[in-house]
């Protein structure tokens, strides 16, 4: 049996002089950002003795008079219009609770889903009883943030054919801050699979559907077997996503695709080896820079 | 049962009162409630009342094998029992956060400060030592359990006598109290805990918080000290931010309080001793027939009763006419009331009633009324039912009848002198 | 290690002095000298925040989950702020004697309570109503100052999780021997019967989040001891600050922005 062995190597110390020196836009909790009272207090800051002070460690962002500090790593802070992938955790009266890596479970109201068959009508008591037939605890869904409640919980909706229950595929969880905000988060990649990049860091990989399903209202899931080649593509994409996340590269359709292309010379299972990962990510970053330039 | 939450208006009221440096039970900021220490018939039984907080402690002892790492030291064991009897918020049989906190604090206060000579509790090194067990029971919870518990525990330890033992060869004999006099524990010092409650992020500070105050406080600082001004333990709790100056101030207050309480405990111990020597009935069991324990008896308030009459006269003589306030007299007509702070009535009654009203409010009337009022007040001081509204009612009655009488004679011509008088006053 | 500790224990009984005439302590430090602090943030992938911290021979791991939906009993939910849930445990191999119960005994429960109290003061819980923040701390090796090491490690973990705090919380344990305050006690000194004081400080404003003292100390010496503790905490905060900044640099370099 072949076995891989690697020796421990010393953690590379990032020499501070080599980087941009001490970057002034990086702050730690308790750092005074400004004592000018003309600025507005955004997320990650508080006012102490009329001084604007950081409460998290991260990067200072300024939009006009508004100062925010964005932490490097945090839970998902949803905004209206964000695409999310989530998991049903609870079926309650008239609503589902959805786990979306947010600080409170999100809520999907019965009134904000499309009924099967695309019927448009008031939700009756009967619908309340058959809620479990649409979505069950443990089901994965894709949805959009409809509004944010006062306590920070998100209200979701699936009132579009592209949202709804997810069938066969693979879920990859990465940090929400690595997902690049884009116009669309649904992509049919040319390599033969589709991807949903949830803003909450949940990424869904699934085989590209043949044609748009008939009026299923997003509750229909195909259970037909997937061909081996499709599955291989999906596995490769999953490992690529993990590689990108391990090296903290922003994830969006181009970066995923370049990463996929760079990984083609390796076997799927080898992608997760640290040295291969590093190589692939280097290639990806190079391609991204070329494309930009 | 979960604690019933405090209503918002109660909370606001309490906080506002604290801001104005007032406490519900009329104490000053640094005052303790009334502290009462009683001892039981048995040695080592103590019963403490701190306001309405009631705590009982019993010390017991037993011969056991010592701990391996301390072969010639006795063992101290403390346990605070929060029974649901004391407060519905205490749950049966569960180690609540509060109970862990109190238990650990008591342990720290009494064990870690080494106030008891543990080596004197050793009988045979490595084989037999005395285990002293202090069981503290909360009987009624009205705040500041920690201080009450620490006072009870140390007082009962001071009161406790363990049986004497004799060693012959390998044999250890424990003598009953009839054979040999029991021996008191050797106590080096008496640590007593003093609690400080902090409100509004540490802006306000109170000593000995009662239950209500505990429920609105932000945090608590417990300082245990002995009368030699040695700090035995400090513990802050609750999410408060303290400043060093505050801690220093608290430690100064604590040293004063501790010396007072220590004196009280010593006195109580002495009283108990003399009572025992005299062979009189003393202790816990004796208190049963007097209903000292079973009933929440009201204590009489002592009131100064000497030279009441002189003082009353004195006040009357020296009384000044109070400034004219329109609030004191507000009955324009018999049978007509006035509602609200603003004295304009909106009932369509002609204006001259008002003038008339002011006229009657003139000086000589006022003077007599004042006398009545002051006398009333003096009287009130004595019986302690001060209610400012009450005397107003009493004053108004003769006045109203008087006015009614005048009114019947003529109301139209009265208008004129009233106005003149008013001018005169100006 | 354990043999050394045994020696020290015996030595204490024989009256070994904790502070030599030359002003050196058992492990060769000066009175106000801290032990070496080494730390690393982001040691676990699964948790929202994690950190590892060594202070001399005391080693601790801290992990933060949250803020997330309330788990367990819903009745503990607070409608105006987040609940902080702490668990302190000691690895069974952390001391010279094997520890039978890693957590759940009175001392650990009390320690969990204290941690909770410390972080309730420092974390801006009012930003997360109806949610819960879990802080789990484990002592891997215990050599004195367990509480302070836990607080320091947990601070790093909370920062790593991106949870807003007023300031760092730094803690230190100090003792008092021969009229001299000793900073950052090790196990031998702690068990040597010195009066020790644990203090958690928000260094910028000088606010004390937790204060705890054991054993006897004259009132007049309290101020000196507290001053020493606050200086020690400020020293620790400098080290933590460096660790956090270094971590920030590394992480932001990797994202390439």
Encode pLDDT of C60-106 as tens digits: 999 999 899 888 777 788 888 899 999 999 999 998 888 888 777 88
B300 part of a folded domain: no
What lies within 8 Å, CB to CB, of C162 at 6+ separation is: A56, A57, A58, A71, A72, A73, A74, A75, C48, C49
Residue with tokens 């009266």: A93
Q: Is the pLDDT of residue B358 over 50?
A: no
E-only strand ranges, chain C: 37-41, 49-55, 58-69, 83-90, 131-141, 170-177, 180-183, 195-202, 207-213, 217-218
The mean pLDDT of A68-88, rounded to a whole number, is 91
> For B313-340, what is each residue's pLDDT tens digit?
777 777 766 555 444 444 455 555 544 4
Q: What is the pLDDT of residue B26?
A: 86
Count of residues making up chain B: 426
DSSP SS3 for A214: coil
Q: How far is CA B178 from the centre of its chain?
A: 42
DSSP annotation of B179 reads T
Q: Do B138 and B35 belong to one domain?
A: yes
Residue of C nearest to A101 (CA): C68
Q: Most confidently modeled of A31-45, A65-79, C230-244?
A: C230-244
pLDDT on residue C167 = 92
Which of B367, B382, B241, B144 has its CA nearest to residue C206?
A: B241
Q: CA of C16: how far to CAs of C9, C12, C26, C164, C192, in Å?
A: 9, 5, 9, 46, 9
Block residue for tokens 């604690």:
B3
Shared domain for B219 and B146, answered yes or no, is yes
Q: Tell me what the mean pLDDT of segment C25-39 comes to.
A: 90
Do B253 and B317 fall into the same domain? no
Q: Partners of C47 in the beta sheet?
A: none
Q: How many CB pairs under 8 A join A and C?
A: 108
Q: B251 and C219 in contact by Cβ < 8 A?
A: yes
Q: Are residues B219 and B70 in the same domain?
A: yes
* Domain with B384 in it: 308-425
What is the average pLDDT across C223-241?
93
User: pLDDT band for position B177 (50/70/90)?
Assistant: confident
Which of B287, B320, B353 is a domain's end point? B287
Residue B222 shares a structural domain with residue B343: no
Nearest CA-CA partner of B150 in B85, B225, B87: B225
Which tokens hold the place of B100? Answer: 């862990």
Q: Are A19 and C253 in contact (CB under 8 A)?
A: yes
Residue-level pLDDT at C136 = 96
Contact check, Cβ <8 Å, C162/A103: no
**Cβ-defined contact of A73 to C165 (cutoff 8 Å):** no
Say which residues have a Cβ less than 8 Å from residue C208's Cβ, sequence separation at least 6.
B236, B241, B242, B243, B244, B247, C199, C200, C201, C202
Is the domain of B118 the same as that of B57? Answer: yes
Which residue from B229, B230, B243 is facing C207, i.e. has the nearest CB? B243
Boundary of a domain, candidates B252, B287, B322:
B287
Task: State residue A130's pLDDT score.
Answer: 87
* Cβ-based neighbour number of residue C175 at 10 Å: 30
Residue B213 CA, chain-centre distance (Å), reads 11
Residues of A in contact with C162 (CB under 8 A): 56-58, 71-75
- Cβ count near B225 (within 10 Å): 32
Strand order in the sheet with A66-71: A26-27, A58-63, A66-71, A40-41
Band of residue A153 on the pLDDT scale cut at 50, 70, 90: very high
Same domain, B227 and B325: no
**Pairing assessment for the beta strands C217-218 and B45-50 based on DSSP bridges:** unpaired
ipTM: 0.86
Alpha-carbon gap: C38 to the closest alpha carbon of chain B (Å): 27
Q: How far apart are CA B385 and CA B394, in angstroms?
A: 14
Residue A205: enclosing H or E segment and its boundaries?
A: strand A202-207
| B279 and B416 in a common domain | no
pLDDT tens-digit series, residues B228-268: 999 999 999 877 888 899 999 999 999 999 999 999 999 99
Q: Stretch B98-111: mean pLDDT, rounded?
A: 89
Give the minimum alpha-carbon distance from B91 to chain C in angstroms, rounded to a whole number: 16
Same domain for B109 and B24: yes
The mean pLDDT value of chain A amounts to 86
Q: What does the buried/exposed string (b/e) look like for B10-40 if buried means 16 or more CB atoms within 10 Å of the residue's CB?
A: eeeebbeebeeeebeeebeeeebbebebbbb
For residues B345 and B196, membership in a common domain is answered with no
**What domains are defined for chain A?**
26-71 (2.40.50.100)
CA distance B152 to C139: 36
User: Would you say C184 and C162 are in contact if contact means Cβ atoms under 8 Å apart?
Assistant: no
Whether C12 and chain B come into contact, CB under 8 Å, resolves to: no
How far is residue A201 from each of residues A180, A185, C162, measured CA to CA in Å? Answer: 10, 12, 16
Q: Does C touch A (3+ CB pairs < 8 Å)?
A: yes
pLDDT reported for residue A219: 59
* DSSP string across A85-126: EEEEEEEETTEEEEE-SBSS-EEEEEEEEPPGGG--S---HH
Confirm if B391 and B377 have CB atoms less than 8 A apart. Answer: yes
Q: Give the β-pairing of B128-140 and B122-124.
A: antiparallel
CB C69 within 8 A of CB A93: no
C217: chain B residues, CB-CB within 8 Å: 230-231
Residue B290, pLDDT above cutoff 70: no
Whether the Cβ atoms of residue B156 and residue B193 lie closer than 8 Å to each other: no
pLDDT tens digits, one per residue of A84-120: 999 999 999 999 999 999 989 999 999 898 877 667 7
The C-alpha atoms of residue B353 and residue B371 are separated, in whole angstroms, by 26
Which candidate, A237, A213, A233, A238, places its Cα nearest to that of A224? A213
- Interchain pair A248, C255: CB under 8 A: yes
Instruction: Determine the average pLDDT of the residues in C215-232.
Output: 90
| Res. B363: pLDDT tops 90 | no
Residues B254 and B323 in one domain: no
Q: Tell me the pLDDT band of B287, cut-offs 50, 70 and 90.
A: low
pLDDT at A26 over 80: yes
The CATH code of the domain that includes B259 is: 3.30.230.70
Chain A partners (3+ C-beta pairs within 8 A): C
pLDDT at position B398: 43
C238 touches chain A (CB under 8 A): no
Q: pTM for the whole thing?
A: 0.79
Specify the pLDDT at position B379.
44
User: How many of the other CB atoms lie within 10 Å of CB of A150?
Assistant: 6
**Top-tier CATH class for C31-255:** alpha beta
State residue B355's pLDDT score: 47
Answer yes or no: are the C-beta atoms of B46 and B56 closer than 8 Å: yes
Confidence (pLDDT) at B417: 47
Tally of domains in chain B: 2
How far is Cα B420 from Cα C72, in angstroms, rounded to an integer?
A: 81
Interface membership of C157 toward A (CB under 8 Å): no
Q: Which of C48, C130, C253 sits opposite A151 (nearest CB)?
A: C130
Q: What is the pLDDT of residue B194?
A: 94
**Mind telling me how many Å the CA of C173 is from chain A's nearest CA?**
23
Count other C-beta atoms under 10 Å from residue B165's C-beta: 16
Write out chain C residues lying below 8 Å of B114, CB-based.
215-216
B365 & B271 share domain: no
pLDDT confidence of A211, banded at 50, 70, 90?
A: low
pLDDT of residue B324: 54
Given this model, what pLDDT does residue C102 score?
A: 78
| Cis? peptide before C67, omega within 30° of 0 | yes
Shortest CA distance from A57: residue in chain C: C159
Alpha carbon distance, N-terminus to C-terminus of chain C = 46
At residue B372, the pLDDT reads 45
C-chain CB neighbours of A19 within 8 Å are 249, 253
Q: What is the pLDDT of residue B374?
A: 45
Distance CA B74, CA B57 (A): 20
| pLDDT higher than threshold 90 for residue C195 | no
Classify residue B309 as exposed, middle or buried by CB count within 10 Å of its CB (0-12, 13-18, 19+): exposed
User: Who among C67, C168, C241 is closest to A75 (CB)?
Assistant: C67
Contact call for B and A: 3+ CB–CB distances under 8 Å: no
Lowest mean pLDDT among A232-236, B11-15, C56-60, C214-218: C214-218
């Amino acid at each position: 049996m072949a076995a891989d062995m690697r020796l421990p190597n010393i953690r590379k110390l990032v020499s501070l002089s080599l980087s941009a020196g001490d970057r002034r836009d990086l702050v730690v909790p308790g750092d005074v950002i400004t004592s000018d009272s003309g600025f507005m207090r955004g997320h990650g800051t508080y006012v102490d003795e009329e001084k604007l002070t950081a409460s998290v460690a991260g990067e200072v962002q300024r939009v006009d008079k508004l100062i925010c500090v964005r932490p490097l790593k945090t839970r998902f802070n949803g905004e209206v219009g964000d695409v999310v992938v989530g998991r049903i955790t609870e079926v309650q009266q008239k609503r589902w609770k959805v786990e979306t890596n947010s600080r409170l479970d999100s809520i999907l109201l019965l009134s904000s889903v499309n009924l099967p068959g695309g019927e448009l009508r008031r939700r009756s008591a009967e619908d309340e009883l058959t809620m479990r037939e649409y979505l069950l605890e443990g089901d994965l869904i894709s949805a959009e943030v409809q509004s944010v409640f006062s306590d920070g919980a998100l209200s979701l909706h699936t009132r579009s054919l592209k949202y709804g229950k997810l069938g066969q595929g693979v879920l990859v969880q990465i940090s929400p801050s690595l997902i690049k905000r884009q116009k669309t988060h649904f992509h049919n990649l040319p390599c033969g699979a589709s991807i949903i990049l949830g803003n909450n860091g949940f990424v869904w990989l699934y085989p590209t559907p043949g044609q748009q399903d008939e009026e299923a209202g997003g509750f229909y899931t195909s259970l037909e077997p997937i061909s081996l080649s499709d599955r291989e593509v999906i596995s490769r994409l999953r490992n690529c996503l993990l590689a990108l996340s391990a090296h903290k590269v922003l994830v969006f359709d181009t970066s995923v695709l370049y990463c996929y292309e760079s990984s083609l010379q390796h076997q799927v299972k080898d992608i997760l080896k640290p040295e291969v990962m590093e190589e692939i990510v280097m290639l990806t970053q190079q391609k991204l820079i070329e494309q930009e330039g | 049962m979960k604690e019933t939450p405090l209503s918002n208006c109660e909370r606001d009221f309490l906080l506002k009162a604290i801001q104005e440096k007032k406490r519900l039970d009329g104490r000053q900021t640094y005052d303790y409630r009334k502290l009462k220490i009683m001892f039981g018939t048995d040695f080592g039984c103590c019963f403490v009342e701190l306001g309405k907080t009631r705590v009982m402690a019993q010390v017991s002892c037993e011969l056991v094998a010592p701990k391996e790492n301390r072969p010639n030291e006795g063992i101290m064991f403390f346990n605070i029992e929060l029974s649901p009897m004391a407060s519905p918020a205490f749950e049966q049989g569960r180690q609540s956060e509060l109970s862990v906190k109190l238990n650990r604090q008591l342990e720290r206060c009494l064990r870690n400060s080494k106030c008891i000579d543990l080596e004197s509790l050793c009988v045979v090194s490595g084989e037999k030592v005395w285990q002293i067990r202090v069981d503290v029971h909360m009987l009624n919870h009205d705040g500041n359990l920690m201080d009450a518990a620490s006072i009870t525990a140390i007082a009962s330890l001071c009161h406790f006598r363990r049986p004497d033992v004799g060693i012959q060869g390998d044999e250890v004999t424990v003598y009953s109290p009839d054979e040999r006099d029991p021996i008191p524990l050797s106590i080096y010092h008496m640590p007593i805990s003093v609690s400080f409650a902090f409100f509004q992020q540490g802006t306000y500070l109170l000593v000995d918080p009662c239950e209500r105050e505990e429920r609105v406080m932000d945090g608590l600082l417990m300082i245990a000290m002995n009368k030699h001004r040695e700090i035995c333990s400090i513990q802050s709790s609750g999410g408060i931010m303290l400043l060093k100056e505050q801690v220093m101030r608290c430690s100064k207050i604590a040293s004063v309080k501790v010396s007072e309480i220590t004196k009280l405990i010593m006195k109580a111990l002495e009283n108990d001793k003399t009572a025992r020597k005299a062979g009189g009935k003393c202790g816990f069991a004796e208190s049963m027939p007097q209903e000292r324990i079973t009933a929440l008896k009201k204590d009489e308030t002592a009131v100064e009763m000497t030279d009441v009459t002189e003082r009353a006269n004195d006040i009357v003589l020296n009384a000044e006419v109070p400034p004219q306030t329109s609030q004191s007299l507000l009955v324009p007509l018999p049978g007509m009331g006035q509602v609200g702070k603003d004295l304009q009535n909106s009932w369509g009654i002609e204006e001259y009633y008002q003038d008339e009203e002011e006229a009657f409010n003139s000086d000589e009337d006022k003077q007599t009324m004042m006398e009545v009022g002051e006398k009333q007040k003096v009287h009130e001081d004595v019986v302690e039912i001060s209610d400012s509204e009450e005397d107003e009612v009493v004053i108004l009655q003769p006045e109203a009848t008087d006015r009614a009488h005048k009114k019947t004679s003529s109301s139209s011509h009265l208008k004129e002198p009233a106005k003149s008088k008013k001018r005169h006053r100006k | 290690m354990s043999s050394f500790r045994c020696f020290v224990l015996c030595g204490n009984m024989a009256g070994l002095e904790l502070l030599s005439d030359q002003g050196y302590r058992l492990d060769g430090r000066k009175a106000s000298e801290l032990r070496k602090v080494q730390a690393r943030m982001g040691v676990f992938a699964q948790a929202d925040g994690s950190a590892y911290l060594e202070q001399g021979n005391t080693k601790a791991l801290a992990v933060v989950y949250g803020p997330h939906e309330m788990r367990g009993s819903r009745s503990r939910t607070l409608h105006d702020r987040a609940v902080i849930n702490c668990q302190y445990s000691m690895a069974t191999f952390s001391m010279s004697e094997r520890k039978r119960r890693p957590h759940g005994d009175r001392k650990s429960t009390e320690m969990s309570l204290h941690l909770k109290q410390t972080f309730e003061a420092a974390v801006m819980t009012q930003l997360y109503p109806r949610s819960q923040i879990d802080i789990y701390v484990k002592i891997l090796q215990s050599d004195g100052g367990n509480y302070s090491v836990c607080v320091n490690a947990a601070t790093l973990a909370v920062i790593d999780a991106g949870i807003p705090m007023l300031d760092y919380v730094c803690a230190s344990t100090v003792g008092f021997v021969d009229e001299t305050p000793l900073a950052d006690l090790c196990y031998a000194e702690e068990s040597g019967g010195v009066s020790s004081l644990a203090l958690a400080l928000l260094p910028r404003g000088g606010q004390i989040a937790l204060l705890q003292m054991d054993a006897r100390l004259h009132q007049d010496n309290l101020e000196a001891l507290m001053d020493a503790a606050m200086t020690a905490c400020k020293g620790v905060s400098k080290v933590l600050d460096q660790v956090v900044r270094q971590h920030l640099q590394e992480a932001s370099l990797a994202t390439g922005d």
